[in-house]
Amino acid sequence: MIGNASRRGRLRSQHREAFLGSADLTYQLIEIMKERVMPESKENKTAETSKTPSRKVYMMRRAVALVLIAGVAGGAIWFFFLRSPKADPNVVKLSGRIEGDDAAVSAKVGGRLKEITVREGDQVKAGQVIASIDDEQVRAREEQEQSLVEQSEAKVAWAKQQIAVLNAQLEQSDVGVDQAKLDAQGRVSQAEADLAKAEAQLVQHQAEFKQARYDEERYTTLATTGDVPERTGNQARSTSESQAAAVQAAKRQVDAARAGLMVAKANLANVAMRSSQSLAIRQQIIQSQSDIASAEAETEKARARLKEAQANRNDLQIIAPFDGTITTRSAEPGEVVTAGTPVVTIVNLNTVYLRGFIPEGEIGKVRTGQTARVYLDSAPNKALEATVIRIDPEASFTPENTYFRDDRIKQVVGVKLQIKAGNGFAKPGMPADGEVVVN
């Protein structure tokens, strides 16, 4: 399992040192016995050859005692230093890595990143602004939708004024010839309505010309830098010129409407009324009422789009969803990002857990909610209190990144140990060991 290599390496090193220590101790005991048993000078060796057989037996006994002492010393060293400690039946051990729940924070709307206020390792609070997007596109849309709202409101006003004109004409038609003057007044009202319509169209063309000028400047700049084809810039310039011509034409229509109003007023007493006009006027009133309803509906839609565009301004700020630490910064100021593109990744270091594996034969002892302890490799003697929060429903083979082949072919079950008080000490990616108290 993950981390087995480092732990086995440490155990082998400890066993090797203990074994060398035992060998050194045995060697020292042998040397002491040799000094006491075997003579070192030639005189002693000469005298040794002349000793009696009983002396040889005595020497053999001393040698046997030496071997027994060495054996006892080696056994004691094995018992106290080399033998594996007895496993605690009330504890199930596991190894793995520290993990945490992270969040990839992304932009709700696309655009060019204006600034990013955090870097890897920075602590952030929930609701903190960590990045912002340039408002150029949002501002352009707000202006466009505002223009459409004004156009729709002008259409409604014109349609209502037209209704008033038609009602006046209908009244004149019902009165008859004697009410010719009233009909003439209706014509005057019509002329006034035409003037209002011409003025409304002028406002509309002026708004369209303003938008066309904005597009011309924008696409001309983009065409210069090669971000859009030159044809797009030329098309925007042509549209701007045509809208300018439309504005001039609308101004001429306003002048003509004013002249018509003057003529209608001059001929007020010379207009005759025909009774057949009543039906046509009523039909026009019905049509105008329909136009008013359509224009009012379009106005409400335009206002809703404007409100949506204004709401998008709030989405230009990228907010931290919870308290945590920045682990990844995926973008830089000046980059163009689309909606949903991650900008940073945040991890809450106070809610980390150990993800490890337990052999299939021992998983039956483990239950969610059991008390556990976690030991980090950086602080192996400091126990972090934990709780079993998850047991995988199915067994699997040990992960491929386990270092020993015999371990990789074992069936294991993944578990999660929630660390109760990480306090930022345990960080995702750190190797760690765990113990589950199963009694």
Q: Is the pLDDT of residue 353 over 60?
A: yes
**CATH superfamily placement of domain 91-100+347-437:** Efflux pump adaptor protein, beta barrel domain (2.40.30.170)
Give the model's pLDDT for residue 310: 74
Give the model's pLDDT for residue 180: 64
Give the model's pLDDT for residue 433: 92
Give the model's pLDDT for residue 312: 73
Whole-number average pLDDT of the chain: 77
23-37, 74-88, 197-211, 215-229 — which is least confidently predicted? 23-37
Q: 140 Cβ partners below 8 Å, 6+ apart? A: 214, 218
Domain residue ranges of the chain, discontinuous segments joined by +? 4-82, 91-100+347-437, 103-134+316-342, 136-310
37-41, 218-222, 284-288, 336-340 — which is least confidently predicted? 37-41
Banded pLDDT at 38 (limits 50, 70, 90): very low
Give the model's pLDDT for residue 149: 83
Banded pLDDT at 337 (limits 50, 70, 90): confident
With CA atoms as reference, report the closest residue to 2 among 95, 99, 136, 132.
95
pLDDT digits (tens, 9 = 90+) for 185-244: 787 888 888 888 888 888 888 888 888 888 888 888 887 887 778 787 778 788 888 888
Give the model's pLDDT for residue 79: 54
Banded pLDDT at 263 (limits 50, 70, 90): confident
43-52, 157-166, 370-379, 427-436 — which is least confidently predicted? 43-52
Domain 103-134+316-342 classified CATH 3.40.50.920?
no
Give the model's pLDDT for residue 8: 43
Give the model's pLDDT for residue 41: 42
Out of 82-96, 183-197, 321-335, give the one with best mean pLDDT: 321-335
Banded pLDDT at 92 (limits 50, 70, 90): very high
Give the model's pLDDT for residue 75: 65
What's the predicted TM-score (pTM) here? 0.42
Question: What mean pLDDT is predicted for residues 82-103?
Answer: 78
Q: Is the pLDDT of residue 415 over 90?
A: yes
pLDDT digits (tens, 9 = 90+) for 380-389: 888 899 999 9
pLDDT digits (tens, 9 = 90+) for 289-317: 888 888 888 888 888 888 877 777 778 88
Domain 136-310: CATH architecture, name and number where available: Orthogonal Bundle (1.10)
